[in-house]
Structure 1
Amino acid sequence: MSERLRPRDVALLAEESPTTPMHNATVEIFEPGPSGFDYPRLVELVQDRISFVPRYRQRVQFVPGRIANPVWVDDEHFDIGFHVRRSALPRPGSLDQLRELVSRIVSRPLDRSRPLWEIYVVEGLADGQFALLTKSHHVLVDGIDTVDIGQVLLDTGAEPKELGADDWRARRAPSPFSLMAGAVKDSAADLDTVVDTVRSTTGAVLRSAASGARTTGRVIDALTNRTPRSDSPIIGPLSQQRRVVTVRTDLADYRKVREVHGGTINDVVLATVTGGLRAWLMTRGESMRGIRKIRALAPVSVIDDELEATALGSQIAAHFVDLPVGEPSPLVRLHQVSYSFQAHQETGRGIPASRLAGMSGFAPATFHALGARVAGAERRRGYQLCVTNVPGPQAPLYAAGARMVATYPVPPLFEGRPLAIGVTSYDGSVFYGINADRDMLLDADLIGQCIREALDELVDSASPSRNRAPRGRRKRKTPEPT
């Protein structure tokens, strides 16, 4: 019998809506190798590697009557051309044009009748560069049976590795009768199956009712010329459109701040995000007296026997941190953020960043997806912003001989949270991917600029010519948030 979806995956499907598509995305920019790179080359590469992620050729099949959780079945009409797509910018394409294209593509939900992923090759970038954009649904990448396809497409050397496409043939899809029989058999063998199904079905009904209530409330607010209010400027209803902002910075700057003030690279990243948000809020005329902190969720990699094991050798857990946006001093902000993770380090569960960066393939793609799953599971805990930070390899990676020169994560948005930030370090740089609701955060581009300036402020504080505060804590090995 086909594998049944877990209750958490069923809940993700139930919670998805046109305004909250449940997929992670990654934008990677490449320089072609001596033999070049084009769409047929990408198709060949995916066909060569897709056997390592067999679920990418499976779709979700619901059980008649919803008497049990759906199952994964082979897509009998699997079409590699549907999932691997081609796009182009008018030459010479700019990074701004690429971001606009990516914003439109990530705004669209995936087709549930097919395997839940897409890859685009975007040609026409300046200097002969091209980009790859991958989209994978949360239920597809669980880190247990399936990693993100972006993890298996890249090699450590420029010489392309030919692993050889398999001779996969789709198994015949189960009939409605066999689906129901399998559900009855599973229920008889394991009472937990019945409980999980009831929970999933009940949860879906309640979420639908809650969604209807929210929609009704918005209509009433509009008719009475009122708008929903929130104490946070980054909380509010989502539209169906996104705006993606990217920022590239030098890893050496973070190391310089760490060497002078102590802590970890992760601490400096979160302090940079804090300073960037503070500056952005000030450009909007927000009162810093009323906004002292922003509650953030920063998923972390841990070793914990009580959490579900993954194929990556570690689990992902939620860590909540208050970003002190009301604090004017960049050093105080850094030390406050650092103190939050010191308490986590003392639990002894953390995974050193060097271990995460040394995992095979391009693991950040998978870790960002798992971090988003944690953020979705914890969305009722009252956090306002999710920041996933994943250390990647500090040596170049290649796709069919083309060198990857930049990688930007594009985390998803959850209901009521119009802003999410993903961070990946790779080959001497730190890349920020900022996903914002296009209608609610019209000035999202300013966040990227403010993040650059916040990092400059921290680097300036670490220069010998400045009168610095006393040195902070010594360097420590901490879990880097995923």
Structure 2
Amino acid sequence: MSGADAMWLHADRPNHLMVIDGIMWTAEPLDPARLRRTVQERLVDVYPVFHQRPAAPAHPWELPGWEDDPDFSLSHHLHHAKLRKPGGDAQLRAFLEKKVRRPLDRTRPLWETWVIDGYGGGSVVFSRLHHAMADGIALAQVMLTLTDPTPDGQDPPPQLDVHRAGRLGSLVSSATGLLRATASLPTAPVTALKGVGVTRKLLLDVLPDSRFSHEPGVEKRLAWTRPQPLADVKAIGRATGSTVNDVLIAALSGALTRYLRSFDESVDRLTTMVPVNIRPPDQPLPRELGNKFALVMLHLPTADMSPRERLEEVHRRMEHIKHSPEVFITSAVAEGIGHLHAVEKPLVDFFAGKAVGVTTNVAGPQQPRYLAGVEVTGVLGWVPGSGGQTLGVCIFSYAGTVRVGFKVDAATVPQPERLVALVEAELDALRRLVTPDRAGSDASRPAATRSGPPTT
């Protein structure tokens, strides 16, 4: 277990479980026996951490490790449930919200999966995996290995877009180039100067006071948008000289601005943490998985401005991060914290207190996938927050659509469905930058994005 793995293992708190929560929903009911075989063959038999539990170190100065669970049984981890009638969004969210507040059993491997029937005409697969097993980017790819390109076929596991998965822009390629640049003498002074700026940002940044910066409780709420056509987002990006990520983050920033305004609050910026994959982009996941990522601080522009101005500002800030050494500095910090048992919690809380939460952006398969022979119609997943963070955001694109999901503190961020509506409204406003006569009404969207679970 690496220092970063150990940090997440030790970071569990009642109000912030270090558990990654993900859902996949299908068009038709799943066959439990076929799904069970798939989980056994593609997860448990391939990745040892799915049948291992945490092992205490032999000495206080050593890191914890993993050991085989002598009583391992798939039945301890793969469960079935059925929603109460009428089996709609309200029933699904109530089921999920009850589960996400419960810690995983540390005497067993740190994961569980629920197959939930009775949701519309299909099923929901709800997975919970501890962050110590792997980072969210790796676990998203692992869970997609359960799927196939056709109902009765299997191919090599689908790969996430390594230039977008888990980051807001092509940070890996930019970061790799920056690492090479630091080895050359002419750029060393520039890189050192940027490093000083990043260090000041990490140490001296203060989060503006808002309802997002209050101490979170145990209860969480989940909500997500309707599937938005990815082609629309790409068209906005092309027309404005920005990226898909810029467009989605601008919509999120505008939604947060309007949400705070509804409570008579306003701030110039809100900071969110963004995971950045630091694995080599051309290599498969190792069987040991683990955490290979960094966190960068993104200042979301939440001052009063037009949608175009906000998009331009997001683009400018993202370009700045891509060309800074922040990813390497924060990666080293995370690894070091895992070795400092005595002060680990205060350090985690100190850095977590710089942001309102974590925002992930994962580019899933571009074509529909099939789980145990049934078409997957949507995917979402949330990584945990820590310290005083109250706002988790997941952006997940799949099969030509993109959804934005929220996992929020129930007490400090009431009515997350309002955030959902505001994100959709901000995307409509950005669409009108490209097509001014587009009203953004539901009737203007393709039929595939107006119907089918889940909706909010």
Partner of residue 98 from structure 2, selected from 101, 104, 109: 104
Deviation of 1:39 (Å): 2.5
The size of the alignment, in residue pairs, is: 363
Would the aligned equivalents of 1:302 and 1:349 in 2 still touch at CA under 8 Å?
no
Matched residues in 2 for 1:29 and 1:68: separation? 41
Q: Deviations over 1:214-243 (max 9, x none)?
A: xxxxxxxxxxxxxxx971321121211111
Matched residues in 2 for 1:64 and 1:303: separation? 30
Counterpart amino acid of residue 275 in structure 2: P
Helix, strand or coil: the match of 2:305?
Answer: coil
Q: Which residue of 2 aligns with 1:243?
A: 221
Deviation of 1:385 (Å): 3.0
Matched residues in 1 for 2:351 and 2:396: separation? 23
Q: Which residue of 2 aligns with 1:292?
A: 268
Partner of residue 432 from structure 2, selected from 436, 452, 460: 460
Q: Which residue of 1 aligns with 2:355?
A: 383
Deviation of 1:149 (Å): 4.2
Helix, strand or coil: the match of 1:52?
Answer: coil
Helix, strand or coil: the match of 2:127?
Answer: strand
Matched residues in 2 for 1:324 and 1:267: separation? 12
Q: Which residue of 2 aligns with 1:194?
A: none
For residues 247-286 of structure 1, the aligned pairs below 5 Å read 247-248=225-226, 249-286=228-265
TM-score, normalised by the number of residues in structure 1: 0.69
Distance 1:146 1:120, change over 3 A: closer
Distance 1:378 1:131, change over 3 A: farther
Deviation of 1:148 (Å): 6.1
Q: Deviations over 1:386-416 (max 9, x none)?
A: 2111111110111111111011112323120
Would the aligned equivalents of 1:271 and 1:337 in 2 still touch at CA under 8 Å?
yes
Counterpart amino acid of residue 234 in structure 1: F
Q: Give unmatched runs, 5+ long, in structure 2.
A: 157-206, 328-346, 439-456
Q: Which residue of 2 aligns with 1:441?
A: 413
Would the aligned equivalents of 1:267 and 1:337 in 2 still touch at CA under 8 Å?
yes
Distance 1:299 1:143, change over 3 A: closer
Partner of residue 374 from structure 2, selected from 394, 398, 402: 402
Distance 1:403 1:13, change over 3 A: same
TM-score, normalised by the number of residues in structure 2: 0.72
Counterpart amino acid of residue 135 in structure 1: R
Counterpart amino acid of residue 319 in structure 2: Q
Counterpart amino acid of residue 301 in structure 2: P
Q: Deviations over 1:36-72 (max 9, x none)?
A: 6233332222122121212100011214664532221
Would the aligned equivalents of 1:25 and 1:411 in 2 still touch at CA under 8 Å?
yes
2:33 counterpart of 1:27: no
Q: Deviations over 1:244-276 (max 9, x none)?
A: 111132212211211211110000010010011
Partner of residue 153 from structure 1, selected from 146, 157, 163: 146
Q: Deviations over 1:343-384 (max 9, x none)?
A: 34456999xxxxxxxxxxxxxxxxxxxxxxxx9798347122
Distance 1:440 1:142, change over 3 A: closer
CA RMSD of aligned residues (A): 3.2
Helix, strand or coil: the match of 1:93?
Answer: coil
Matched residues in 2 for 1:327 and 1:143: separation? 33
Would the aligned equivalents of 1:294 and 1:325 in 2 still touch at CA under 8 Å?
yes
Q: Which residue of 1 aligns with 2:35?
A: 42
Distance 1:236 1:133, change over 3 A: same
For residues 66-465 of structure 1, the aligned pairs below 5 Å read 66=60, 68-126=62-120, 128-142=121-135, 149-161=142-154, 231-248=209-226, 249-286=228-265, 288=266, 291-301=267-277, 311=286, 316-346=293-323, 379-380=351-352, 382-465=354-437
Matched residues in 1 for 2:221 and 2:379: separation? 17
Which structure has the larger Rg?
1
Q: Which residue of 2 aligns with 1:15?
A: 11
Q: Give unmatched runs, 5+ long, in structure 1.
A: 164-228, 351-374, 467-482
Distance 1:303 1:147, change over 3 A: closer
Counterpart amino acid of residue 410 in structure 1: W
Matched residues in 2 for 1:378 and 1:257: separation? 37
Distance 1:112 1:256, change over 3 A: same
Deviation of 1:28 (Å): 0.8
Matched residues in 2 for 1:240 and 1:39: separation? 32
Would the aligned equivalents of 2:82 and 2:118 in 1 still touch at CA under 8 Å?
yes
Stretch of structure 1 that moved more, 85-94 or 420-429: 85-94
Matched residues in 1 for 2:298 and 2:426: separation? 19
Distance 1:341 1:310, change over 3 A: farther
Distance 1:348 1:236, change over 3 A: closer
Would the aligned equivalents of 1:304 and 1:349 in 2 still touch at CA under 8 Å?
no
Matched residues in 1 for 2:420 and 2:136: separation? 30
Q: Deviations over 1:50-99 (max 9, x none)?
A: 21212100011214664532221111100111100111113441122212
Matched residues in 2 for 1:149 and 1:376: separation? 27
Matched residues in 1 for 2:242 and 2:138: separation? 35
Would the aligned equivalents of 1:61 and 1:73 in 2 still touch at CA under 8 Å?
yes
Would the aligned equivalents of 1:28 and 1:407 in 2 still touch at CA under 8 Å?
yes
Would the aligned equivalents of 1:136 and 1:148 in 2 still touch at CA under 8 Å?
no
Q: Deviations over 1:121-153 (max 9, x none)?
A: 010011x21100011001111589987641321
Matched residues in 2 for 1:21 and 1:325: separation? 28
Counterpart amino acid of residue 72 in structure 1: W
